[in-house]
Structure 1
Amino acid sequence: VAKKVPFTVSAHGRSWSDPYHWMRDTSDPDFAALLAAENAYADAFVGAAGGGGLRARLAAEMRARLAPSAVSPPQPWGPWSYYQYVPNGMEYPVLSRKLRSSGGLAGRFLSYLSDWEKEEVLLDWNEIAEKFGYVHIGSCRISPNHRFLAYTLDTSGGELFSLEVKDLQSKHVIFSPPDKGIVSLAWAHDSENLLYTVCDETLRPNQVFCKKMQSDEAGLLVFMEDDVNCCVDITSTKDFKYITVNSNTRTSSEEGLCDGIW
């Protein structure tokens, strides 16, 4: 049972009691202990009701109510069209691309080298889920030169995402740092440098690392937010010329801009 701490909220000329206001401080050890206890209770309840069999039955019932397949509209970018779809009978989507029949000089050249109608599967969530039993893909970013795919994934359900970078030419994962709690990703214009945020022990994204793809060195720390009230988020502009570093609180936001052309 969650503890109650006296607290009065006042707004718009009214006041009321909120004994659970303390839960807003997610760094409170009591809050983490409460979540762990709730998860343990849920596991025990489901286990007593049939365990894995109950989970499988509930999943089958929910899956039966989903459309047999879902396809996102293709997103043209350069010589490629990117899209996602859920294969028939599967639970998770697949990220794919096809060469466009007309995409300027680069598109015509690539079409000459390869069958543009052929689908290229970039990432199959179902294969990952089959290995781990569960998967949640967070951020997913294609490099500007269309060679690398960076994505974050959670395979435990704890919302602690790890990072993988896949070389779409070799089909191999070429970078997977040991850090857990990676939130946002941003490619530099050269497609060689990937920036990503890492959380601290309270799960607050506060660090930005940069990894060079053609280097064996680990990611380099390039920014750290010391204000414990701030969470850091990074993005790149659509032309990849700039990378934004955002430090956000509940009531404010500060944005820094750095050159994305290195």
Structure 2
Amino acid sequence: VAKKVPFTVSAHGRSWSDPYHWMRDTSDPDFAALLAAENAYADAFVGAAGGGGLRARLAAEMRARLAPSAVSPPQPWGPWSYYQYVPNGMEYPVLSRKLRSSGGLAGRFLSYLSDWEKEEVLLDWNEIAEKFGYVHIGSCRISPNHRFLAYTLDTSGGELFSLEVKDLQSKHVIFSPPDKGIVSLAWAHDSENLLYTVCDETLRPNQVFCKKMQSDEAGLLVFMEDDVNCCVDITSTKDFKYITVNSNTRTSSEEGFYFNFIPNTNAFCDVYHIYLVFDCSF
């Protein structure tokens, strides 16, 4: 039974009693003791109910109501078809792709002979979960040349995502910065520059970095939002020519400047005071 501590809350000309207001202080040792007692009670109740097999029976009933596998519709892009599916008996999805046929009966026959229907696994959530015990993939972006896969992942459950870039030819992770709290990703048209946002200590996305894949240098800071009321998000246009940096509040959204990426340099130049857009075409 949780303790009660007298406390009065007042707002909008009204007052009421909140004896459990003390629970807002999660460092209170009584709060940790209460959670431990609640968990112990729940474990004892479930362990004793149904002859001790209630938990296993409930889990079996829920699994029986789930489809053995789930597959997303294939998304054609360039020479590939991308899709996700949950393998039978697994908890997490797998991102895969297959080469598309050239069209027509002859094209499909040649595709069959050349093994074009062979699946290529790009990212298996289950392998990561087996290593860390848990995984949550946030953003997941394929580069325009279909060679790199950039994704954010959380392996602790704390919603602090890290970034990994995988070379789909070598199957190795080639870039993994130490930053935590990475939210959105966007590839430049050349597939060599990846832009990503990083959160501050309050978990507000406020910085945009640009990383060149073939360089050993760390990501370059190209934009910072100083307004604590604004969160930064980045997206790319469908042709990957432009990357927009969007500064959003709860009630507004704006692109404040227009930037043009200078080829073969790490410089961005202010062109128009209209939109914040990175021109990453070379």
Instruction: Tell me, yes or no, whether TM beats 0.5.
Output: yes
Number of residue pairs the alignment of both structures matches: 260
Change (3 A) 1:150 1:114: farther
Change (3 A) 1:56 1:164: farther
Change (3 A) 1:216 1:12: same
Unmatched runs of 5 consecutive residues or more in structure 2: 257-267, 271-281
Q: Distance in 2 between matches of 1:30 and 1:233?
A: 40
Cα displacement string for residues 76-116 of structure 1 (whole angstroms, at most 9, x for unaligned residues): 00000000000000000000000001279999999699621
Q: Distance in 1 between matches of 2:32 and 2:253?
A: 27
Mean Cα deviation higher: 47-56 or 97-106 = 47-56
Change (3 A) 1:66 1:181: same
TM-score with structure 1 setting the length: 0.75
Cα displacement string for residues 132-159 of structure 1 (whole angstroms, at most 9, x for unaligned residues): 0010100000000000000000111111
Q: Distance in 2 between matches of 1:258 and 1:26?
A: 47
The answer to whether the 8 A contact 1:75-1:82 is kept is yes
Q: CA deviation at 1:53?
A: 11
Q: CA deviation at 1:7?
A: 15
Mean Cα deviation higher: 163-172 or 99-108 = 99-108
The answer to whether the 8 A contact 1:244-1:258 is kept is no
The answer to whether the 8 A contact 1:243-1:258 is kept is no
Report the secondary structure of 2:144's partner residue. Answer: coil
Q: Distance in 1 between matches of 2:178 and 2:76?
A: 34
Q: Distance in 2 between matches of 1:234 and 1:18?
A: 42
Q: Distance in 1 between matches of 2:210 and 2:85?
A: 31
Change (3 A) 1:86 1:23: same
Cα displacement string for residues 157-207 of structure 1 (whole angstroms, at most 9, x for unaligned residues): 111100000000000000000000000000000000000000000000000
Cα displacement string for residues 3-59 of structure 1 (whole angstroms, at most 9, x for unaligned residues): 999999999999999999999999999999999999999999999999999998876
Mean Cα deviation higher: 119-128 or 3-12 = 3-12
Report the secondary structure of 1:63's partner residue. Answer: helix
Q: CA deviation at 1:64?
A: 4.0
Change (3 A) 1:115 1:162: same
Q: Distance in 2 between matches of 1:76 and 1:169?
A: 20
Change (3 A) 1:234 1:28: farther
TM-score with structure 2 setting the length: 0.70
Mean Cα deviation higher: 101-110 or 191-200 = 101-110
Q: Distance in 2 between matches of 1:156 and 1:241?
A: 35
Q: Distance in 2 between matches of 1:105 and 1:124?
A: 33
Change (3 A) 1:17 1:89: same
Report the secondary structure of 2:42's partner residue. Answer: helix
Cα displacement string for residues 218-241 of structure 1 (whole angstroms, at most 9, x for unaligned residues): 111000000000000001011101
Change (3 A) 1:61 1:150: farther
Mean Cα deviation higher: 42-51 or 77-86 = 42-51
Q: Which position in structure 2 is the counterpart of 1:221?
A: 221
Q: Distance in 1 between matches of 2:237 and 2:106?
A: 22
Change (3 A) 1:18 1:240: farther
The answer to whether the 8 A contact 1:63-1:91 is kept is no
Counterparts of residues 171-186 of structure 1 (less than 5 Å): 171-186=171-186
Q: Distance in 2 between matches of 1:232 and 1:29?
A: 37
Mean Cα deviation higher: 5-14 or 95-104 = 5-14
Q: CA deviation at 1:65?
A: 3.1
Unmatched runs of 5 consecutive residues or more in structure 1: none
Change (3 A) 1:27 1:139: farther
Are residue 3 (structure 1) and residue 14 (structure 2) matched? Answer: no
Q: Distance in 1 between matches of 2:162 and 2:169?
A: 22
The answer to whether the 8 A contact 2:47-2:55 is kept is no
Report the secondary structure of 1:76's partner residue. Answer: strand
Taking only the aligned residue pairs, the percentage that are identical comes to 99
Mean Cα deviation higher: 36-45 or 189-198 = 36-45
Q: Distance in 1 between matches of 2:89 and 2:240?
A: 38
Change (3 A) 1:190 1:91: same
Mean Cα deviation higher: 91-100 or 55-64 = 55-64
Which entry has the higher C-alpha Rg, 1 or 2? Answer: 2
